[in-house]
Structure 1
Amino acid sequence: MTSFTNREVDAGGLRTHIAEQGVGELVLLLHGFPETSYSWRHQFDELAGAGYRVVAPDLRGFGRTERPADVGRYTMLELVGDVVALIDALGERQAVVVGHDMGAVLAWYTALLRPDRVRAVGGIGVLPWPAAAPSPLTVFRQMFGDGFYHLYFQQPGVADAELAHDPTRTLRQMLYSGSADGPRAPLVVPPGGGFLDTGTDPEVLPPWLTEADVAAYVADFAVTGFTGGLNWYRNLDRNQELLKPWRGATITPPSLYVGGELDPVVDFARAADLRDQPGGMLPNLRSIVKIPHCGHWTQQERPAEVNAALIEFLKSL
């Protein structure tokens, strides 16, 4: 039974909601989209019991954390600044930073930009995009066409309204469709359609997701809506411009990559390339962990396997 507590902290002027448990070395857990700190509910007891101080924030624009109105306040520089400010607010000098989905992107870039503040880094599902690499949106358009969901998310107000129309359906469908239990469908919006046309609303939820879980997410997104999370996607190209000074830089802290074998986002081959090839972006990638029969919502679908991988990595530091 999880026994984490909730409170608010001032992280560099951003009112930030956090869930926390345990004492010891600080481990920050960064969620993705559409998630909140609740996505780490299965990790608190295990990591705290292993001797760590576990903190999971609602990230900028999500849940009970502030949601700036200006889309330009969601660049990667702002978001990395939030992580550093949170470490300061918690009275620490360094943290192990672990992220999932878009939270993994943030974890990787925090380690890239501020290795002095990152003891080690873990990414679940998503690998880092090299700083100043070609535009992600251009690459996605070439690979998947104009209907790819990252591109659909760009137009202000469109996906925002669609996802907010029925939050219960939105969250049930997105969590189910991205899991190992859902259909294997490309995330390409059909002409004239919406994002939810790419997935399935299940009649019965899979065993790892309860109606109470969905209700918890609905309550979180009722506070700030979906726009804050969508604004992360609306800065993908801007981030590449801002990160030009880090062109060719590597992520030097010890690192871990974890993914579900049925997660369409996961790329184990590229993870090995980023570690083993000369000039690879992850020269200190210590382990690549593949979790069988697992989809995109890795730490929720297979918490025991994720917890074991995290604890083994933490104990190795």
Structure 2
Amino acid sequence: MMKQVELVNGDLRFPALMAGNGEPVILLHGFPDTYENWAVQINALADAGYTAIAPALRGYSPGCQPGNGDCSLYAAVDDLMVFAAQLGGRVHLIGHDWGAVVGYLACAQSPETFCSFSALAIPPVRRIPQALLKVPEQVLLSGYMQFFQLPLAPEAWLQRGDLDGVTTLWQRWSPDWEPGLYLDNAKHTLAEPGVIPAALSWYRSLFKVWKKEHRQVRGWLGLNIATPTQILIGENDGCMSPKLLEHTLVESDFSGGVELQVLPNAGHFLHLEQPEAVNHHLIRLLNNTQCE
């Protein structure tokens, strides 16, 4: 039975969906998305004997928008570590898009906390900067990230009409797929007060390289990942080119082991497009990596 719960970090309150009994599994969503779209995975994980909990990312609900506007990756990793502690200290982790980026960093920084890690739609982030030189198409695909650095214009673009900018990104990133209710759910979350500016703050903080938190994150990027890891990529991903994998997936970067699954007939939102295939891989890794 899935229920609405709340996770807390300081004075920030993060709405979450939760179901099941067993080892805890945290699921982190991405942009422009919502924690509610993990519902199919939450039910599947609960049926497989796990406690699945999917919180909103920092900023994606009025109650978890920090007063200082800090939506940096450093802060997001801190949120995740606090959630893990609240759930008993050792957890499995599943992340999509930004959630996967947070996962790579958290597993590198705190391997003892994470029993397994499944990264959806994002190749290993450690080597993406160098890979951009070898996969020029990704520079074009990532053009939205430069656009998001501008003041005000990105907010206006995303919010025009019925959040038409959000629709455009979903269509571009998962072509030949009709998202239906999933897109409606995402729009409902993104229409809440302050959520779109907070979501854009995630991108804007990436370029604040002078901040000490940014230096800390860069240090984590250089660490090996000792958590058993799998990477799931949709072969038609229109946000992150699958060609990046040739230059980012280096087995020696993953001392706990890594495996790759490229899913046919799926784009960026692969867990929503091909839930049965994705759930099969998620549960298989969980079953092979119990938290001791």
The alpha carbon displacement at 1:10 in A equals 1.6
2:81 is matched with 84
- Structure 1: how far apart are the matches of 2:247 and 2:49? 30
TM-score for both structures, normalised by structure 2: 0.86
User: What runs of 5+ residues in structure 2 fail to find an aligned partner?
Assistant: none
Q: Which amino acid aligns with 1:314?
A: L
Q: Which amino acid aligns with 2:119?
A: G
Q: Which amino acid aligns with 1:86?
A: F
Contact residue 120 and residue 254 of structure 1 kept, 8 A: yes
Q: Tell me if 1:157 matches 2:168.
A: no
Contact residue 123 and residue 244 of structure 2 kept, 8 A: no
1:259 is matched with 233
2:41 is matched with 43
TM-score for both structures, normalised by structure 1: 0.79
- Structure 2: how far apart are the matches of 1:235 and 1:9? 24
The 1:283/1:88 distance shift into structure 2, 3 A limit, reads closer
Q: Percent identity?
A: 26
- Structure 2: how far apart are the matches of 1:136 and 1:275? 12
2:279 is matched with 307
* Partner-residue secondary structure (3-state), 2:125: coil
1:185 is matched with none
Q: Tell me if 1:118 matches 2:114.
A: yes
Q: 1:28 aligns with which of 11, 26, 29?
A: 26
The alpha carbon displacement at 1:176 in A equals 2.4
- Structure 2: how far apart are the matches of 1:273 and 1:151? 22
The 1:166/1:144 distance shift into structure 2, 3 A limit, reads same
Contact residue 261 and residue 295 of structure 1 kept, 8 A: yes
Contact residue 125 and residue 221 of structure 2 kept, 8 A: no
- Structure 2: how far apart are the matches of 1:37 and 1:315? 23
1:195 is matched with none
The alpha carbon displacement at 1:135 in A equals 9.3
* Partner-residue secondary structure (3-state), 2:64: coil
Contact residue 46 and residue 307 of structure 1 kept, 8 A: yes
Q: 1:55-78, CA deviations, whole angstroms, 9 ceiling, x for partnerless residues?
A: 00111011354112544x122211
1:294 is matched with 266
Contact residue 179 and residue 294 of structure 1 kept, 8 A: yes
Which of the two has greater helix per residue?
2
Equivalenced residues, count: 283
The 1:249/1:286 distance shift into structure 2, 3 A limit, reads closer
* Partner-residue secondary structure (3-state), 2:249: helix
Q: Which amino acid aligns with 2:117?
A: V
- Structure 1: how far apart are the matches of 2:115 and 2:157? 40
Q: 1:187-216, CA deviations, whole angstroms, 9 ceiling, x for partnerless residues?
A: xxxxxxxxxxxxxxxxxxx2xx22x43332
The alpha carbon displacement at 1:272 in A equals 8.1
The 1:291/1:146 distance shift into structure 2, 3 A limit, reads closer
1:270 is matched with 245
- Structure 1: how far apart are the matches of 2:60 and 2:274? 24
* Partner-residue secondary structure (3-state), 1:233: helix
- Structure 2: how far apart are the matches of 1:232 and 1:77? 11
- Structure 1: how far apart are the matches of 2:225 and 2:201? 25
The alpha carbon displacement at 1:127 in A equals 2.0
* Partner-residue secondary structure (3-state), 2:191: helix
* Partner-residue secondary structure (3-state), 2:261: strand
Moved more, 214-223 or 73-82: 214-223
Q: Tell me if 1:217 matches 2:178.
A: no
1:13 is matched with 11
- Structure 2: how far apart are the matches of 1:70 and 1:162? 24
- Structure 1: how far apart are the matches of 2:236 and 2:42? 25
Q: 1:6-49, CA deviations, whole angstroms, 9 ceiling, x for partnerless residues?
A: 12232243211111000101111100100110221211111110
Q: Tell me if 1:99 matches 2:95.
A: yes
User: What runs of 5+ residues in structure 1 fail to find an aligned partner?
Assistant: 183-205
Q: Which amino acid aligns with 1:29?
A: L
User: CA RMSD, aligned part only?
Assistant: 2.9
- Structure 1: how far apart are the matches of 2:255 and 2:152? 40
The 1:147/1:36 distance shift into structure 2, 3 A limit, reads closer
- Structure 1: how far apart are the matches of 2:154 and 2:134? 21
Q: Which amino acid aligns with 1:79?
A: A
The alpha carbon displacement at 1:292 in A equals 0.4
The 1:142/1:214 distance shift into structure 2, 3 A limit, reads closer
The alpha carbon displacement at 1:284 in A equals 2.8
Higher relative contact order (CA 8 A, sep 6+): 2
Q: 2:105 aligns with which of 106, 109, 117?
A: 109
Contact residue 124 and residue 258 of structure 1 kept, 8 A: yes
